């Protein structure tokens, strides 16, 4: 992928921006090569499609922040203002404390998403007029572009509500493009559904998934469709939308055949990329791109060496535990303790760290261990793919759709639980509806998704999808602060586009 992305950047002259640094709404690529010299061969289009997936990969950190960091997974424990290793949170705590504002927005510049949205707009535009691409590939690539654009706009909609809609490509720098008002949320979700429908139509009966499941596919569009229609089922769409979500998920089951891996931990291994459970993942590879986790979710090697791994009965060391990170967002001890000890997800997802006092292990803190990367001659490389959609997600979304339709969600919930508990699984104890939480089936599904998807950017969105009351019950957002369900717009975006208005409820610009 690395070579192809480089060619793309030369061909279009596009510039990748880090959303934390860029102050503009990135709508316009810079081009030094005219359209007469590009879009002339199928190979050039192939390169461009590879490039938009590379750009998607560059947004993973923002997807994780928007989808999870304001939930109830991360945080410092009572009485502490820093991570357990002594590394300060340095403002990251504003995410889980939900004290964001325009100067501390958590995610700036709308995640940098408009940069790739513009590339997708360009691809859609050029595919509509080219005769240089075989019809089958043209339709497949349109399916990718429309599905991926819908994904971006659904991220924007769930996070900011009203956002700028831009569906035409901009091919030159024009400052007037920034002077554009946001469209109402109703128009944004309408666009999302239209793009999903068009993506499905263009994919047709082509369910193939390319590049070891690192390319968007019809299955990815159908997963997105299920998410979108479940969201709207709680917001006026009712059983009709829940039924649409269910149909999308059973379509994948019938035509793609994704399945749970026997081992939860193996789903995320760099050695099993594109495995049977994955539906769509962002691809990370040695010497190409690393999963961006070390600088916020993992501790410094020298500091973690002061603590113990009680399960392995050993002290951490700088040779094998060479995380090389900066722990700005530790996992709460309460999160770790919420898992059943017999649940394999507990030990594959979270690494606890202990002090050894008088021969007794005393827990000091915890951090993410789901994505451990691999040891290479150059040291630890974080080469785990980042799952966007996988079969466990499908099953639990299907359980949610069934519940909304008055159907029994037990089959899907129990498939996930049985894999989690493995040889420890006792249906009489662990199966739905035999756990205490199962008396409230929606809470049971939420809890199962909590255990299953730590660090996969799902938790905040799950709570938001099911309804405001779930956010108030599980996070630091109070019912008197409903405006905090959405994100503030950063000062830079408001400065550069005076047509934008601050998210209602936050101090006006």
Residues 318 and 233 in one domain: no
pLDDT of residue 447: 98
> Is position 87 within any domain?
no
Query: With contact defined as beta carbons under 8 Å apart, do 113 and 156 qualify?
Result: yes
Residues 307 and 254 in one domain: no
Whether the bond between 433 and the residue before it is cis, its omega within 30 degrees of 0, is yes
* Kind and range of the H or E run holding 221: helix 218-232
Tokens for 143? 């399916």
Angle, CA 322 vertex, CA 317 and CA 325 arms, to 5°: 120
Query: Last residue of some domain: 383, 417, 440?
Result: 383
pLDDT of residue 4: 41
Between strands 278-282 and 350-357, the pairing is unpaired
Q: Give the per-residue SS3 of 94-132.
A: HHHHCCCECCECCCCHHHHHHHHHHHHHHHHHHHHHCCC
Residues 131 and 45 in one domain: yes
- For residue 227, the domain's CATH number is 1.25.40.390
> Is position 138 within any domain?
yes
Residues 370 and 342 in one domain: yes
Strand partners of residue 367: 351
Number of domains in the chain: 3
pLDDT of residue 31: 46
Q: How far apart are CA 118 and CA 185, in angstroms?
A: 20
Q: Is the pTM of this model over 0.75?
A: yes
Ranges of residues in the chain with a pLDDT under 50 are: 1-23, 28-32, 173-176
Q: How far apart are CA 366 and CA 363, in angstroms?
A: 8
pLDDT of residue 253: 97
Query: Last residue of some domain: 345, 368, 383?
Result: 383
Residues 62 and 177 in one domain: yes
pLDDT of residue 21: 39
Residues 433 and 403 in one domain: yes
Q: Give the per-residue SS3 of 467-482.
A: CHHHHHHHCCCCCCCH
In a 3-state reduction of DSSP, which class is residue 169?
coil
Range of the domain at 194: 1-69+106-206+480-509
Q: How far apart are CA 138 and CA 148, in angstroms?
A: 15
Distances (CA, A) of 118 to 2, 104, 224, 492, 494: 21, 26, 20, 20, 20
pLDDT of residue 178: 60
Residue 413: partners with Cβ closer than 8 Å, 6 or more residues away: 395, 396, 399, 432, 444, 445, 448
Query: Last residue of some domain: 383, 402, 420?
Result: 383
Residues 176 and 311 in one domain: no
> Is position 433 within any domain?
yes
Residues 172 and 51 in one domain: yes
Can you state the angle between helices 459-466 and 60-68, rounded to 10 degrees?
50
Phi, psi of 285 (to 5 degrees): -140, 155
Q: How far apart are CA 167 and CA 184, in angstroms?
A: 15
> Is position 374 within any domain?
yes
Q: What is the pLDDT of residues 440-473, one digit of tens each?
A: 999 999 999 999 999 999 999 999 999 999 999 9
> Is position 98 within any domain?
no
Residues 244 and 353 in one domain: no
Residues 122 and 228 in one domain: no
> Is position 6 within any domain?
yes
Q: How far is CA 490 from the centre of its chain?
A: 21
> Is position 154 within any domain?
yes
List, in sequence order, every beta strand (DSSP E) within 242-359.
278-282, 308-309, 314-315, 350-357
Residues 29 and 170 in one domain: yes
Residues 347 and 394 in one domain: no
> Is position 90 within any domain?
no
């Amino acid at each position: 992928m690395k070579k192809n992305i480089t060619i793309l950047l030369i061909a279009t002259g596009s510039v990748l921006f880090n959303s934390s640094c860029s102050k503009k709404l990135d709508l316009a690529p810079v081009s030094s090569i005219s359209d007469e010299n590009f879009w002339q061969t199928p190979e050039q289009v192939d390169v461009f499609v590879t490039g938009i997936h590379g750009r998607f990969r560059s947004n993973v950190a923002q997807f994780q922040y928007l989808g999870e960091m304001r939930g109830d997974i991360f945080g410092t424990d009572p009485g502490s203002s820093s991570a357990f290793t002594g590394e300060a949170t340095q403002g990251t705590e504003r995410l889980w404390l939900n004290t964001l504002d325009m100067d501390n927005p958590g995610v700036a510049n709308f995640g940098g998403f408009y940069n790739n949205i513009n590339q997708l707009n360009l691809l859609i535009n050029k595919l509509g007029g080219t005769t240089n691409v075989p019809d089958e590939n043209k339709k497949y690539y349109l399916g990718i572009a429309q599905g991926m654009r819908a994904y971006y706009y659904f991220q924007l909609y769930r996070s900011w509500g009203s956002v700028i809609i831009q569906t035409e490509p901009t091919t030159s720098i024009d400052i007037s493009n920034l002077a554009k008002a946001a469209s109402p949320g109703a128009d944004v979700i309408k666009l999302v559904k239209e793009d999903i429908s068009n993506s499905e139509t263009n994919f047709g009966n082509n369910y193939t998934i390319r590049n070891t499941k690192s390319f968007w596919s019809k299955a990815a569009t159908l997963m997105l469709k299920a998410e979108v229609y479940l969201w709207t089922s709680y917001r006026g769409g009712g059983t009709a939308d829940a039924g649409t979500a269910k149909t999308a998920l059973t379509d994948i089951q019938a035509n793609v055949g994704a399945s749970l891996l026997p081992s939860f931990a193996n789903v995320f291994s760099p050695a099993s990329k594109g495995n049977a459970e994955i539906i769509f993942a962002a691809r990370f590879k040695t010497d190409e791109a690393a999963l961006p986790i070390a600088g916020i979710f993992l501790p410094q090697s020298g500091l973690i060496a002061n603590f113990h791994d009680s399960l392995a009965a050993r002290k951490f060391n700088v040779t094998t535990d060479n995380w090389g990170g900066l722990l700005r967002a530790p996992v709460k001890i309460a999160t770790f303790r919420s898992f059943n000890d017999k649940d394999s997800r507990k030990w594959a997802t979270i690494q606890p760290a202990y002090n050894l006092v008088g021969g007794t292990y005393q827990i000091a803190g915890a951090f993410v261990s789901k994505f451990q990367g691999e040891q290479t001659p150059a040291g630890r490389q974080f080469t785990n793919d980042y799952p966007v959609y996988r079969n466990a997600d499908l099953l639990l979304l299907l359980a949610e759709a069934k519940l909304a339709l008055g159907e029994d969600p037990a089959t899907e919930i129990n498939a996930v639980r049985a894999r989690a508990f493995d040889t420890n699984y006792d249906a009489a104890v662990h199966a739905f509806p035999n756990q205490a939480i199962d008396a409230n089936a929606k809470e049971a599904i939420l809890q199962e998704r909590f255990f299953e998807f730590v660090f996969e950017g799902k938790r905040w969105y799950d709570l938001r999808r099911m309804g405001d009351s779930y956010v108030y019950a599980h996070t630091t957002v109070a019912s008197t602060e409903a405006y905090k369900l959405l994100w503030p717009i950063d000062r830079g975006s408001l400065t550069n586009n005076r047509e934008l208005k601050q998210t209602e409820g936050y101090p006006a610009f």
